[in-house]
Structures are given as C-alpha cells and as structure tokens.
Structure 1
Amino acid sequence: MIFRKKFSLSVVLLGIVTLVLCPVILAQEEPLSHDDILKMEYLHKFVLSPDESKIIYLVTEGDDLTPPADNATLRMILTKSKTETILSSPDESVTSWSVSPDSRHLAYTALPRTGGDSYLTILDLTTMKVEKMPGVPKELLNGFSWAGTSGLAYLGPSPDTPEDTKPGGVTIMDKEPDPVILNSYDIKTGEITNPTTNTDVIYAYLPSPNGRYILYKSSEYPEVWLTNPEFTYYLLDVENGTEDEIMTREEGYQDENEFAWAPDSSVVYIERMINGGMHYPVRYASDIITYSPATRTVEEIPMQWDRLMLKDLFNDDIEMTPFMGGVYALLADGTNPQLVKYTKTPSGWNMVLLKGEHQGNIFALESTVDGNTLYYNYNSASVPPQIYKAHISGDSIGTPENMTHLNAKLLEKPLGSSEVIEWKGAGGDTIQGVVRYPPGYTKGTLYPLVVVIHGGPIYTDFDSWRDTWEFPYHLITSAGFVTFSPNYHGSSNYGFDFAASIEEGHTYSLAVEDMMNGVAVLADKGVIDKNRVGVTGWSYGGILTLSWVTKDNSLKAGVVGAGYQDENSQLAYTNGIVMNRMYYDKTPFEDPEPYIRNMGVYNAGNVTAPILMLQGTVDNAVVPASAMTTYRAYKMASKGDVQMILFKDEPHHMKHYDNQVRKVTEEIEWLSGHLLS
C-alpha cells in the first residue's frame, strides 16, 4: 500500500440491466499496469469502402497524445477474407485520412514519428503504390474530404483577407473572425480552386459521393457569446456554381452536428440539434432531417423515439449511416443506445427497432449500399471495442462475426465485470449508472467505492469501454475498488427535459443528490462499505466533486481533475461565460446570490475529506486562475488536507504521456492511501 507523502509546499509544479461477465480470474494472472490502459489500442474512426471490399480504420496507442506520440496507424481488413494489412508506415503517425468515392485511393496526412513536418500521402489501394505529395497547402494538412475522385476539399482563409501590418504580437478580444472558405486541391494537377465565395466562416462541410454537391454550414461569428450564434446551411452545386440556402438556425459554437449522404448522392441526412439553454443555445437532443438537391425540399424523419438521437461526444464515428432508401441510426437510451432502421416508403418513413445479442452496445456502424449488412463497433463497460460484421434480416441483427482482434495482450489480463443499475434520484426521477467490479469480485464482501463522475455536464457514462487517463476505471478497480459512474441530472441521452433540469441554477444540487442516493443503494445491496467512499472526476466531474465534498462528510477522499468552484474567474474564458448563460439567468457580477448559494468556495469550511486537485497550467477550458482560487479557498477553510499539483504546459486534455501517467499514479495513490488503509 502506497501512501501519499506530506509536502511542505502544497502546490507541486510538474514538467439494473445486463451483467457483463469476464472469464474467471486466476490467482496467477498478471494485474493491470498503467501502460495496459494508457497505451492500449484505441479504435477510432472506421469506414466501409464504397465498393464494400474493405474496412479501413485508425488505431492509436493511447488517448489525447500529441502526434506523433500517439503512433496512429491505418489498417485495412478485406471484408470477404478478413485479411488484415497495415497501410501506413511504421515510421509515421497518421493525423487525418479519407477514402476516395471510387474506392481506389486513400489520402492521409501524417507526421514522422521521430519528429518533423506534416505531409500528404496518396495510396493506391489497388496497386498499393505510395506517393507523397509535395507543395500541399498547409491548411489541407489540418483535415480534408474527397470532393470527387481527384479533388480534396479543405478549409482555409479567404485570399481577400487583409494582412495585419501593425507591429507587435497581439490578440484583439471579441474581434469578428476573418472569412474561412472552401478550397479544393487536385491531386493530379496540383491546381487549387475556391468553390465558395462566402464572406463568413464555414464551420462544417461534407461533399457528396458523386462530387457534385457540398453541404456546408457557416456563420458570421461562430463564437460570439453576447448573442446567440446563427448558422446558415447551404448546398453548393459544384457543376453550375449555384447555392441553395436550406435553413438558418441558432446553435452553440461548442456543439457539432453530423451530415451523411445517401450512396447515390440523392439525399443528404442532417442531424438537427434541438437546443435548450437559458440565454445561450446548448444541444439537449437532436433528430434527423433530409434535403433533396433535385426537389430542393427539406423533410423531417419521424423519429418515433422520445429521447431522439444518440449523441456520443468522444466518438469519431457518426450516429447515422445511410443506405439506398433509408438510414440506420443510433437512438438515445441512457447507457445503452438502440439501433434502428428508418426506410422511406410511398406512405412515409417506417421505423424498425432491431433485435440481436449486441443491441444496446453498438456505438458506431457502417452499412452496405443495400442495407443488408452492417459493420459496427461493439463494446461494453468491461469489454474493449472490436469491429463486428452482421447481416440484417427483418428486425434481426444476425450472428455477429468478429473482424478485428485489438488489445490481445490486454484481454489476457483480469478486467473484472460490469453492470448497469437504476435507482431513484432527485425529484424521484430514475437515474442510471455503471458499476465496475474488481477482478475476483466476491459477492457479499464490502468493497471500498470510488465514484467516477463524467464531465460535461452534457455527456453520458455509457455501458461502454471508455478507459482513458482522465477516467482510468479499470486501473482503479484493479487496485481493489468498486467504481460507480452515475448519469446525474443534466446528462445527455435521457431526453430534453432531463438535460434541461439543471437550468435556473440547479447545476450541482440535483446531481449531488442523485449520486448520494446511488451510493446509498450500493451500500444497501451489500456491495460497498459506506465508510470507505471516495470520489474522482475530470472537468465537470471535478467541479461536481468539489461541490459534493461541501455537502457530505461521509466522503473519505476526493480527487479533482480540472475543476473549480470560483465562477468569477472562470468568466475569463468564453467557455465560462457561455456556461453561465446556459444555466443561469445572469452572470455572477450581475446577480451574485445564486452563485454564492452554489459555489463551494463559500462553503469550503464544511469539507472534511482530503482533497487532491490536479490542473494543467494552460488549460483551455478551465481557467487555471479559477482552479487556483478554489484551491486557496479550500486550503484555508477545509478541515481536511488539501493539496494541488499543476501540470506544466498541459491543456484541458493533457497531451504528454509522462504527465498522464503521473496524473493516474497520484490519483490512485491518493484514493488508496485514504480508502484502503
């Protein structure tokens, strides 16, 4: 058992649903190491090639690492033989990629793993000939999409943007941004064209498979915070240069929605965000509309589902996949999204809720053109992701066929089991959460509990493998804990009203009540020792940790990652003022009383649990000054030990492996020292 040493300086600056069971844990099995989780193979975006002959997917070693430290590798599986090929070279790390509409070429950008500048590579998937492209515009290296079979569309500044000739390096606050336009780079000739002539900022775009159309949305000022940003959706006809204005909507800059084209380019599917927020828009739910270039008409798909579409913020794959005549969609259902099939008929849209052994644990998918075969990412809270193949017949998902074998060494280690539970939270509402049990869990034994709180609050703890340096669930359970991850009031994927329930300043109170009730249920079930309960979380999870410890003296330890309880300093960032406008009627300067009632800095004298705060010095979401102010207030007033570690030059999502390891090490040592002794 390792106890955290006392420091003379307190700030250190550094450089009930389905039970999923794993195999019986044997005594000789080697326990998990930090590298097993922090350097595991992470499955990112995958696509089925348009000719349906191959699956191409990206795998990284680790999460959030600055390329090339993530060792991102492109892999290909032939759909018939399941033969696998590594496409990118072992001395490069891939940063973006796309398959051409004719399935012949793979374009990708990469960095040398030994360091150096980014470059573009074109790989002929028939001959496997590799061609590095010289003289590529630097903006293209940041991301692109195929526009036809020889063009790469990308975003860049307008050539008409005036140059700032005044001396000095300055940032002008709240200055309207310069235009961002669409460009196209021809891989055969090197010619660059500008398909659009817009004078605003293009924020998202998607070319059609046939290359004729580009759907995009733009705004004069996407990150304006004094008013609500307006985004206009356009369809550009590349052949004749005309544009159709589809719609204009108020949307928050922090939210991204998805576009997907039908295989024949006849229809584009648009995820339409349904926004809440008191004075600034924030997506609480979304549905699907379609736009037809031929008829220039918008059509709503009747979702026939109260909670509407799944939104999975940290998944690179989109939640809808068209086929000829319809679209597959993942719908929100708390911890376990549901896969449905919408088909267009002469009388309207028909919805089928699919059945199968993997239903509820599918988190990304690709469909064949006829809609009869799916390739999908299956995983659970105790089973890491793999790509599977299954045939669809009527309302049934056929027998799954495993296509990948990721993390073979990790799967040899003891991973424990997991379960989704339900209980009554604030206001009598049903709350869900994910419980992860340690390897060798013995029913009837009272285990120490660590509550692992998700960020957001617009996010969800799914019945899904989401282990990262931020949320190292299995490293914590491997240390002998049960972990509990509740989807408190304000979480997404439980419907509009549930997400909106924390408006009017209820940002902390409902969530804390939800979590306390959940802990009580686990204690009543004889799962955990109610006298050995700790809490940890990153971002909004850290914020809620700081609030909870002011209200509950039964907690024995807390770890706060990128959290604060000082709303005044947080207004220095756009993220802070926008959060205030979402959930409060006024800012703390206009009306301080609601904040004083909520903010932990005014109630730190109630804290008895030992607190460890972890914070990056260049955090781009949580103002470091707000975290530091919180630390000072808790350090002065708390009855428990309060310590803080600053991670030098780290943003909100830490980019350096050594610091990720240090974060996890400090976190588990702190929890172990206070809960396992």
Structure 2
Amino acid sequence: MRFTRLILALLVIGTSSVFAQEKQITLNEIWNGTFSQQRLESLNSLNNGTEYIVLNQDRDAGTTSIDVYDYKSGEKQGSLLKSSDLDQINRFQSYELSANEDKILLSTEGEQIYRRSSRSIYYIYDVASKKLTKLSENKVQEPAFSPDASKVAYVYDNNLYIKDLESGKETQITTDGKKNKVINGITDWVYEEEFAFVKAFEWNANGTTVAFLKFNEADVPEFSMDIYGQDLYPGASTFKYPKAGEANAIVSLNMYDLKSDSSKEITLGNYTDFYIPRIKWTNETDVLSVQVLNRHQNKLDLIFVDAKKDKVEVVLTDSDKAYVDITDNLTFLADNSFIWTSEKDGFNHIYHYNKKGKLINQITKGDWEVTNYYGFNPKSKMIYYQSTENGSVNRDVYAIKTNGRGKKRLSEKEGTNYADFSADYTYFINTYTSTTTPAEYTLRDAKTGKLVRKIKDNAALLEKEKAYGFSPKELSTIEVNGNELNMWMIKPSNFDPAKTYPLFMFQYSGPGSQTVSNTYFGANDYWYQLLANEGYIVVSVDGRGTGFKGAAFKKVTQNELGKYEVEDQIEAAKKLGDLDYIDKERIGIWGWSYGGFMSTNAILNGNDVFSMAIAVAPVTSWRFYDSIYTERYMTTPQENASGYDENSPINHVEKLKGKFLLVHGTGDDNVHVQNSMRLIEALVQANKQFDWAIYPDKNHGIYGGNTRLHLYTKMTNFIKENL
C-alpha cells in the first residue's frame, strides 16, 4: 500500500512539474546573466564596529562609490568617497583603507597577470582633505600602507619601493629585480597559484621594518606559450614554471630597516630546497613569524625571527605522513600566544599555543572539520569559526571560548552559512544558501546568533525561476567501495520512474575538493537543468580524496592521484546504472581541469561503463604540472615514477571505445595546452577517433565574449548527439 502511494506521489509531482514549466531554459540565458544572484560587494567593517562599507557601482553613469551603512538599521550614512566628485578618475575597480581609515588606496586601469596577480595605476585619497594623489606613473603591484599610513610600499618591475606620502620621496629598496631572474616582494607563478598569495612583504607594527621574500628564478625552467592575438606574426609569453621534479626558485627572507636604509638576508636554519608559504608579524613589534615547509610538504616549521637580536627560533612543528595544509588561520593574541589549526588528530581543528609554542589546549574536537576560522574577540575571549558539525555537505557558524567551553551555534538554518564579523565582533552578516535557497544576507547578533535584520535576499530570482519549473537538486549518499559518498541528482522535470534515462555525471575529484554541498545553483547547475529538460539525469558524486570528511578520507589518494578517485566514479556509475530508471548503456561523464583528468581516465579505464566523456583543460600527465601542487600529493617523478605513469591517460589511449571530446585554451598558463597536445598525439597514433576543440589565447577559465556560450553549446550538442 505504501509503495502504491509513493508511485502516485511521484506521478503527481511529475505532472505538477509539467504544468508548472512555462519556459525552457536556454544557453543564452545561462551565460547572459539572467539568473545572476544579488550579492554584497567588497563589504568591509569600519573600526567603530557599528558601520560597514560597500563598493557600489553605477554602471549607467560609469561611476563608483564607497558607501557607509549602519549595521543595526541598515540605513546609508553617507559615502566615504564618490568617484563622481573626483577630477582625475571616473571610476575605480577596488579599494583598500589604511589601518586608521584616514586614507584609501584606489585601483584603476587594472591589468590581470595570472589568476591572483594584477598591476594597476593607483591613487591615494585623503579622507579629511579629500585630496587625490597618484601613487606612481607606472602600473604597480600590491601597494600597502604603513601602519600609520604615512608611507606606501609596492612592487614595480620585480623591485620593492617605498613612497613617503608627505614628502613624495620614493625609495627603491631592491635593485636586482628582473623578469624571469629575480623577484622581490611578490611571489613567483607557482607560489601565487598553489600557496594562494601574491604580496610577499609585510610592514611591522610601528612601520620601522619591512620583511620581504626574494625569489631567485635563475635555475627554474621556462615555459613559453604562443600568443596569437590580432597581429600578422604571433608573439609568445615566456615565464618560469617549475614542473614536478624540476628546480624551484630559491627563496630567501629579507629585512629592510627604514632608519638605516639597509637590507639583510635572514638565515632561517639548515634548510635545503624549501618553501616559505607565509610570513606574518607577531604582536611583538620586532618578532616575525615565518612558516617553512620542506619540499615534500609533510613537515612545517613555525619560526619566530627577532629582527633586532637576529635570533631565529623554531616554536612549532606540524608534520603528517602525507602533507600539511597551508592556511591563513595563524592569529596572535595580546600575550603573543597564538591560534593554530591542524589535522593532527585526523580532523581539522583549532589549537591554542603559548608564545613558546607549548600547547595550551585543543579548542575544538570531534569527527568533523573546522572549515573557516573567523577570528578572536579579545573582550569576550571567544573564537568564531565555521564547521561541518551538522554534516559534511552543510556549514554552520559557531562561537567557542579559548578553553574549549561555551560552544554556541550562531547560524540557524540547515545549509551553508558564512559569516562576516564587524570589527568589534558585535555583529556578523550571515550569508545563507541551500539547494532550494539562493543567497540570503542577514545581520545577526554575534553573542546569540539572533536575527537583527534582513539585509538582502534573492526572492526575485526564485520568482523568476518559477516559470521554468526547475527540478530540485536532491542530496543523498551512495555506498561505493566501502564508503558512503555524498551525491546530488537532478532529474527531468517530467521524470517518470517507469522510463529509462541516460545518465550524465559531473565531478572534480581533486584532493580536498567538494562538488556535493547544500548550496544553490551556480551556472553549471542551470546547464544541468537544461540537460534535464532534454531528458538526462545529472549526478555528481564526491569520491575518496575529496574533502571535509577527515584527513584519512582525503589523503587516501596520496602518491596515486587518479587511481581511487577513478575507481569510485566507475563503481558509482555501475550502481546508478542498476537503477530501473537509468539506461546503463548510456552513461557519460565530464570534468574541468582535475575533473578533465578524471573524466579522461574514466572513459579509458571504465570503457565498459562510460559511453561518452568530455574533458576540459585536463592534466593528462602529472609530469607536466607544477611542482608545489603535484609533489604535495605525488612526491617527485624521480621518487614515484609508477604513480605518475600508471594513472596518466596518455598511457591508456588504446582502451578508448566511447565518444570523447577534448577541449583546451592555448593561453592556459596553469594546465598547459601541452597536456592536450600530447594526449591528442597519443590518440592519433593509437588510431582512435575523437573530437577536440582549441580556443586561441584563452586561459584555464576559457571565457571572454561569447567563448563560454560557444563552449557550452559545443558540449551540449556533443552530449545530445552521443549520449
């Protein structure tokens, strides 16, 4: 009887969806912003803790403003700055306030370099006098105010400079900077990409010393990319790119003393072939913290460097059989004790150490992960963080005392919650989303988590979507190879359990990643809705090696990237293919970057399961990828040749049976088009037929103009023709 009711319910739901669906989604709508969500842009709390500022842009007028809002009321209090009031510039792209909030750095004429780096013309705006001054006639990188905002340090042409804002005097700190040779004050390509930072210098608290990193790239092999452009003859971009097992830049720590106008290199210890992924001044003015990581990335030393006494001391060592993750969570308290996060008990948690590196206590504990560290309130002695305590697909915001007591959940709704705290931790803006709810912004009391006011939601987007009758993204788990794996599924809106449907799988699968979460649609999800309307069931499964389920689950793929992850995707496809409503003869898979590496391996090693695959910008051999990322999980090719080669799709091309589409951009500085070219040649020599597309001068994101629309049109047509 219950079974009959279930079938009836499914039929009713299916019928209701058919009648509710008035419009069919199109690729143009997905990529022209029809389903864009309302967001809060560049929000920052002011020091008073009662107000915040937001970057607002008037696109019609072509102007920009930094507007001030009251946290509690939400009322606009005025503007710190309006570009319409300035004579020299019409608009600016970004801003940065000085610590005392009396000056603002404005970025204009921005020019992207790599993923995180850019150069711009910068101006300095004095809030009191309303005077605007150009920092330099040159496009510079990473300008930063001194603590009292009397000076700005920045990098130009790989050299570090300091400008005195009162006198206008400019001092060049380094002179040996040269492209593809030596870099001062900013990171090289591989640090930027894999350690996720660009600015490699820091002012101390009283502005007397600047610590900076120097990269000697002389021995790093060069990579050259053709740039086709619009000219008669193409050009080339040549840059230093250390591939797995090759020479890295030699990094050194240096201190510049403003009073003596002199620099010195700091010897950190008996280290060889090492990384410095983070530097940060402690709360003792002359003491700098330096994180030193060995090349295998399984041992991390936290070092304190006393700039006055030339004293270097290792205060903490974190090690792991696989690797140690680098974070920005290190926080120094008033007594110079510090907060640290680590996976040393098997899950990522928060620890408190005294200034000598002795453990005071482990603050958070449990079989769940701390996923964001938000900060410490010195008045209440509370620490704020985000975690997976309510399940690995969810995120909640919590407060806890430094002694590990008094824990309180501050977020209310099940789903994904992020927090942005006011400077004094009185309030936080909670960003909430779930599979059924696009971003909602609410102001919350930081002590209780109670709602103060609603700020912004996307109710209009939900109303707009009603006409399309979108299918829900169903979260569940699937048992595969002895593990309960997270999964989502999108079915056709007129789903009939008595029919059979082709299955299209998406995955990324990289170490520590996550594609299955309790969040609302992104651009690809709308594409999946389009495919569902065409009669496909779309699924994503997070297999072994993905994140937020503990270190053991994440690090099982160590030294064997592409083995266990592929096994899980193949087994998941088999299990799903056994469902009555899925046609096991029509199962496809796709992915981008690491996901493209995976989808390629899946159709080769799972050629009896997958009949079609799409790979966009894939790694095809980890020998071709950069040193920091690859060696973190694989060690070097010299040490682990079999791990590199046995899981490389280039070495399995003879297994191809199904339909395969390969896509790459020639301007991809990250996963070089070399990867696809080598795979293409191997497939050709194996006499395997396949489809491929090359996008001239497009980087790893393959976007710009109609590029994304063209790419997704090609992929959609390929799926409809071959699955």
Say whether the 8 Å CA contact 1:417–1:436 is kept in structure 2. Answer: yes
Question: How far has the Cα of 1:327 moved from its partner?
Answer: 0.9
Matched, 1:81 2:143: no
Say whether the 8 Å CA contact 1:257–1:271 is kept in structure 2. Answer: no
Query: Which consecutive residues of structure 2, in runs of 5 or more, have no partner in the other structure?
Result: 1-15, 85-89, 161-171, 183-216, 221-246, 268-274
Say whether the 8 Å CA contact 1:343–1:351 is kept in structure 2. Answer: yes
- Per the alignment, residue 341 of structure 2 pairs with 272
1:135 and 1:614, CA in 2 relative to 1: closer, same or farther beyond 3 A? same
> How does the TM-score come out when normalised to structure 2?
0.68
Equivalent pairs, count: 598
- Per the alignment, residue 634 of structure 2 pairs with 583
> How does the TM-score come out when normalised to structure 1?
0.72
- Deviations along 1:621-675, whole A, 9 cap, x unmatched? 3242232212232345476x41222222233334634433333332222223323
1:72 and 1:362, CA in 2 relative to 1: closer, same or farther beyond 3 A? farther
Matched, 1:420 2:493: no
- Per the alignment, residue 204 of structure 2 pairs with none
Question: How far has the Cα of 1:517 moved from its partner?
Answer: 4.0
Question: How far has the Cα of 1:540 moved from its partner?
Answer: 1.1
**SS where residue 431 of structure 1 aligns?**
strand
Query: Which consecutive residues of structure 1, in runs of 5 or more, have no partner in the other structure?
Result: 1-22, 62-70, 185-190, 277-283, 311-317
**SS where residue 604 of structure 1 aligns?**
helix
For 1:305-454, list aligned pairs within 5 A. 305-310=366-371, 319-324=373-378, 325-332=381-388, 333-344=391-402, 348-350=403-405, 352=407, 354=409, 356-366=411-421, 369=424, 373-391=427-445, 397-399=449-451, 401-405=453-457, 412-413=464-465, 414=468, 416-426=471-481, 428-437=482-491, 446-454=500-508
- Deviations along 1:356-408, whole A, 9 cap, x unmatched? 5424411343256356x4312212345433432223566xx434843234695
- Per the alignment, residue 14 of structure 1 pairs with none
Say whether the 8 Å CA contact 1:453–1:486 is kept in structure 2. Answer: yes
In structure 2, C-alpha distance between the alignment counterparts of 1:617 and 1:484, rounded to whole Å: 30
In structure 2, C-alpha distance between the alignment counterparts of 1:400 and 1:552, rounded to whole Å: 56
1:399 and 1:636, CA in 2 relative to 1: closer, same or farther beyond 3 A? farther
- Per the alignment, residue 665 of structure 2 pairs with 616
> What code does the residue aligned with 2:528 have?
I
Matched, 1:561 2:609: no
Structure possessing the higher relative contact order (Cα contacts under 8 Å, 6 or more residues apart): 1
Say whether the 8 Å CA contact 2:528–2:538 is kept in structure 1. Answer: yes
> What code does the residue aligned with 1:343 have?
K
- Per the alignment, residue 9 of structure 1 pairs with none
1:227 and 1:331, CA in 2 relative to 1: closer, same or farther beyond 3 A? closer
In structure 2, C-alpha distance between the alignment counterparts of 1:182 and 1:538, rounded to whole Å: 42
- Per the alignment, residue 219 of structure 2 pairs with 172
- Per the alignment, residue 195 of structure 2 pairs with none
Q: Which residue, out of 328, 331, 337, partners 1:258?
A: 328
In structure 2, C-alpha distance between the alignment counterparts of 1:308 and 1:376, rounded to whole Å: 19
- Deviations along 1:588-630, whole A, 9 cap, x unmatched? x666555554333333233222111111224333242232212
In structure 1, C-alpha distance between the alignment counterparts of 2:646 and 2:682, rounded to whole Å: 15
In structure 1, C-alpha distance between the alignment counterparts of 2:57 and 2:510, rounded to whole Å: 24
In structure 1, C-alpha distance between the alignment counterparts of 2:559 and 2:106, rounded to whole Å: 46
Question: How far has the Cα of 1:44 moved from its partner?
Answer: 6.5
Question: How far has the Cα of 1:331 moved from its partner?
Answer: 2.1
1:303 and 1:590, CA in 2 relative to 1: closer, same or farther beyond 3 A? closer
In structure 1, C-alpha distance between the alignment counterparts of 2:344 and 2:26, rounded to whole Å: 42
In structure 1, C-alpha distance between the alignment counterparts of 2:46 and 2:529, rounded to whole Å: 39
1:557 and 1:165, CA in 2 relative to 1: closer, same or farther beyond 3 A? closer
In structure 2, C-alpha distance between the alignment counterparts of 1:259 and 1:496, rounded to whole Å: 18
1:167 and 1:467, CA in 2 relative to 1: closer, same or farther beyond 3 A? closer
Q: Which residue, out of 672, 691, 697, partners 1:649?
A: 697
Question: How far has the Cα of 1:26 moved from its partner?
Answer: 3.9
**Higher Cα Rg, which structure:** 2
Say whether the 8 Å CA contact 2:51–2:70 is kept in structure 1. Answer: yes
1:114 and 1:204, CA in 2 relative to 1: closer, same or farther beyond 3 A? closer
For 1:109-148, list aligned pairs within 5 A. 109-111=107-109, 118-122=120-124, 131-136=131-136, 141-142=141-142, 144=144, 147-148=147-148
Question: How far has the Cα of 1:343 moved from its partner?
Answer: 0.7
- Per the alignment, residue 539 of structure 2 pairs with 484
* Identical columns (%): 14
1:82 and 1:196, CA in 2 relative to 1: closer, same or farther beyond 3 A? farther
Question: How far has the Cα of 1:546 moved from its partner?
Answer: 0.9
Question: How far has the Cα of 1:418 moved from its partner?
Answer: 1.8
Question: How far has the Cα of 1:445 moved from its partner?
Answer: 6.0
Matched, 1:535 2:583: no
Say whether the 8 Å CA contact 2:103–2:126 is kept in structure 1. Answer: yes
- Per the alignment, residue 20 of structure 1 pairs with none
In structure 2, C-alpha distance between the alignment counterparts of 1:375 and 1:545, rounded to whole Å: 39
> What code does the residue aligned with 1:172 have?
D
Q: Which residue, out of 527, 546, 553, partners 1:475?
A: 527
In structure 1, C-alpha distance between the alignment counterparts of 2:504 and 2:108, rounded to whole Å: 39
Say whether the 8 Å CA contact 2:589–2:612 is kept in structure 1. Answer: yes
Matched, 1:629 2:678: yes
**SS where residue 375 of structure 2 aligns?**
strand
In structure 2, C-alpha distance between the alignment counterparts of 1:475 and 1:88, rounded to whole Å: 39
In structure 1, C-alpha distance between the alignment counterparts of 2:704 and 2:26, rounded to whole Å: 21
Question: How far has the Cα of 1:145 moved from its partner?
Answer: 6.8
Matched, 1:287 2:349: yes
**SS where residue 485 of structure 2 aligns?**
strand
Q: Bigger CA drift: 157-166 or 534-543?
A: 157-166
In structure 1, C-alpha distance between the alignment counterparts of 2:264 and 2:597, rounded to whole Å: 44
Q: Which residue, out of 160, 163, 175, partners 2:176?
A: 163
- Per the alignment, residue 217 of structure 1 pairs with 290
- Deviations along 1:168-212, whole A, 9 cap, x unmatched? 99953236446565789xxxxxx999898554786445568x996
Question: How far has the Cα of 1:489 moved from its partner?
Answer: 0.5
Say whether the 8 Å CA contact 1:285–1:495 is kept in structure 2. Answer: yes
- Per the alignment, residue 94 of structure 1 pairs with 93
Say whether the 8 Å CA contact 1:228–1:250 is kept in structure 2. Answer: yes
Say whether the 8 Å CA contact 1:32–1:478 is kept in structure 2. Answer: yes
Question: How far has the Cα of 1:214 moved from its partner?
Answer: 7.9
**SS where residue 554 of structure 1 aligns?**
coil
Question: How far has the Cα of 1:552 moved from its partner?
Answer: 3.7
Q: Bigger CA drift: 548-557 or 595-604?
A: 595-604
**SS where residue 672 of structure 1 aligns?**
helix
Q: Bigger CA drift: 298-307 or 51-60?
A: 51-60
- Deviations along 1:247-269, whole A, 9 cap, x unmatched? 4667999954113658x856675
1:406 and 1:545, CA in 2 relative to 1: closer, same or farther beyond 3 A? same
1:337 and 1:465, CA in 2 relative to 1: closer, same or farther beyond 3 A? closer
Matched, 1:27 2:21: yes
